[in-house]
Amino acid sequence: MSSHHKTAITILGATGSIGLSTLDVISRHPDRFSVFALTAYQQIERLADLCLRFQPVYAVVAKQTDAVKLQQRFRIAAINTEVLYGEEALCHVAQANETDAVMAAIVGAAGLLPTLSAAQAGKTIYLANKETLVVAGALFMQAVQQSNAQLLPVDSEHNAIYQVLPTDYQGDLVQAGIASLILTASGGPFLHTPLSDFARITPEQAVKHPNWSMGQKISVDSATMMNKGLELIEAHWLFNAPAKQLEVIIHPQSVVHSMVRYIDGSVLAQMGEADMRIPIAHCLGLPQRINSGAKQLDFTCLNGLNFLAADFDRFPCLKLAYEVLHSSNDASACILNAANEIAVGAFLHKLVGFMDIARVVDSCLQLFSGHTATDIKELLQLDQQVRTAAENLVHTHTI
């Protein structure tokens, strides 16, 4: 690209923590980046403020009533941002000719179709939405390859692996001399809680994450280690890594973000502060390194780094994710994810206990074990069926 052309970015999920961190990095490099579109689901006031500051071409919301509210605010403020609403509009801003890159940071299955649209349109995709690869990994990777899109992982673990892989890595671990990929996990808030206390864990305790500030759903996933399970499935697709070459190790300090084991015995790790602006800036700046606003890691302040094995008794959700990876049915990851979303929601609403989350997921994996899906429509139908079944399990207490 010529030095005059700014990278025009669409941020799907602009008001969440990843979206805000992305805008923070962008604001440090006004000469390099412009904002094409910002989208939000519920936080309309926050979206309005961001639009006043960054003046994107488009703002996208879910509901028409919110769109009308936003339009009125923009008229009063005299800014030209056009307001759109609905799923079609999300897909439109993700694939528009004027956008070069898309930050996919919508949480949940809602992020799936717009991210797929960006892939089909051959965009550079900064991927922070787990569901895209978990629910539709095969289809999504196919779309990326067919349209020559560039896929860059934003998740701190996948980004860490991406940073320490050979720069010319083409998806062949053997050819690259790689023995395995190691995802690190904090272990969440219950790493040392006696198993006998697990039945009494409350939502308030589960959302207190020791190292990262995240939304409630992701915090519970961190406590059950389902987030690591979902990341394993993502790593499988991102790096073409079979289950037997994917390791999870617990590292409570969250300083080493992930590692790659090479066949000669070397292990390369990426380290840094627990600040999502680091992986975001890495993706945005490629092939250069740019300032992220994060502070430098001070080794003299670290009082040791610990590493522990991940225990399947303590973290049954992680075990379920490995089982999904070992199964030959690509749709089983979609089942895992949908059941987990319902189970976590039920736990947050105190309808089920902490240990029931894994039970709901396990029950759904068994209920739907014969179901396959070949296209996005079938996957989304399966996703709905699993959610309905999981809700049924929750409400009838037949877990």
Please compute the mean of the pLDDT values over residues 223-241 and round it to a whole number.
97
Regarding whether 16 and 140 lie in a shared domain, the answer is yes
Q: pLDDT digit string (tens) for 326-346? A: 998 989 999 999 999 999 999
Alpha-carbon span 153 to 230, nearest angstrom = 14
Q: Give the chain's length.
A: 399
* Domain C-terminal end among 111, 129, 153: 153
pTM above 0.75, yes or no: yes
Question: How open is the CA angle 361-391-357, to the nearest 5 degrees?
Answer: 35
Regarding whether 137 and 59 lie in a shared domain, the answer is yes
Residue located via tokens 């308030």: 204
CB contact at 8 A, 237 and 137: yes
Indicate whether 54 belongs to any domain: yes
Alpha-carbon span 259 to 165, nearest angstrom = 9
What pLDDT, on a 0 to 100 scale, did the predictor assign at position 4? 65
We report the CATH number of the domain holding residue 21 as 3.40.50.720
Indicate whether 393 belongs to any domain: yes
Alpha-carbon span 337 to 386, nearest angstrom = 9
We report the CATH number of the domain holding residue 379 as 1.10.1740.10
Q: pLDDT digit string (tens) for 357-376? A: 999 999 999 999 999 998 99
Regarding whether 27 and 95 lie in a shared domain, the answer is yes
**Facing residues of 35 across strands?**
9
* Domain C-terminal end among 127, 153, 179: 153
Mean pLDDT of the chain: 95
What pLDDT, on a 0 to 100 scale, did the predictor assign at position 213? 61
* Domain C-terminal end among 290, 313, 336: 313
Regarding whether 172 and 112 lie in a shared domain, the answer is no
267-271 β-sheet, strand order:
267-271, 256-262, 178-185, 246-250, 308-309
Indicate whether 339 belongs to any domain: yes
Domain range for 387 is: 327-399
Regarding whether 37 and 130 lie in a shared domain, the answer is yes
Alpha-carbon span 279 to 266, nearest angstrom = 23
Alpha-carbon span 132 to 113, nearest angstrom = 8
Alpha-carbon span 221 to 212, nearest angstrom = 13
Tokens of 285: 């700046």
Regarding whether 168 and 127 lie in a shared domain, the answer is no
Count of structural domains within the chain: 3
Q: pLDDT digit string (tens) for 244-267? A: 999 999 999 999 999 999 999 999
**Facing residues of 84 across strands?**
60
Residue 212 predicted with pLDDT over 70: no
